[in-house]
Chain A
Amino acid sequence: MRIAVQRAAFDIGAEVAAFSADRRDMGAVVTFTGIVRDQADGDLEAMEIEHYPGMTEAALTEIAQQARDRWALGDVLVIHRHGRLRPGELIMMVATAAPHRADAFAAAEFLMDYLKSRAPFWKKEIGRTGPRWVAAKAADEAALERWRT
């Protein structure tokens, strides 16, 4: 299991190749990648991501551990960047490895749902009209409900 909180860019291909290598007992690797998305009107200059050093790593580790307790996973990878990112840059990725794909898919969704509203990151959009903090969505909180059964 690897949790990385970093300012630097990461190479998605190299990460997935390394994560998938030498896994004779894992039949499935699922990955998700988050990308800074521009506004429809092309207004977004940058996205600033703030985080809570120390708590961020602890929260991500706990979320990943919960996923491992819940599904038969061989491994979990979470990379999340912070700092100033431009549209098109990769923000974060998760990867899950499991013997079968159902567990790998479910665990990746679980990780994303919890990472959205339980890991201490805050996004600020820097547009040509000024800066704006991204508000949490009710749907993000609602997404956690389905895992509580």
Chain B
Amino acid sequence: MMDVLYFAWVRERIGLPRERIETDARTVAELVSELTAREARYEMAFSDLTALRVAVDQRLADFDAPLEGVREVAFFPPMTGG
């Protein structure tokens, strides 16, 4: 089981802030494919990966990052702090 979190407009497009999912995905990219195949709202949120960032267990990561032993993955747009 893995917690998947969404922030900012990714959260709005998907319609929820977080969910627990059962997945066999080995990488973030595989997880994205799995989610995208689910429903149109996921497809819409993940349509342009260059507009998205990902964190794996609360650290910034790449889309090819492995998911073995990972508890939490988060998707969000580029950050706008400060």
Contacts and interface: CB of A to CB of B under 8 A. Distances in A.
A119 to B, nearest CB: 4
A142 interface: no
A120 interface: yes
A139 interface: no
A71 interface: no
B79 interface: yes
A34 B82 contact: yes
B5 A117 contact: no
A124 to B, nearest CB: 7
Interface of A: 34, 50, 52, 54-55, 58, 80, 91-92, 112, 115-124, 133-136, 140-141
Contacts of B60: 118
Contact of B55 (A112, A120, A140): A120
Contacts of B7: 50, 52, 120, 122
Closest 9 CB pairs of A and B: A136-B78, A121-B81, A122-B8, A55-B58, A116-B82, A119-B81, A123-B80, A134-B80, A115-B81
B76 interface: yes
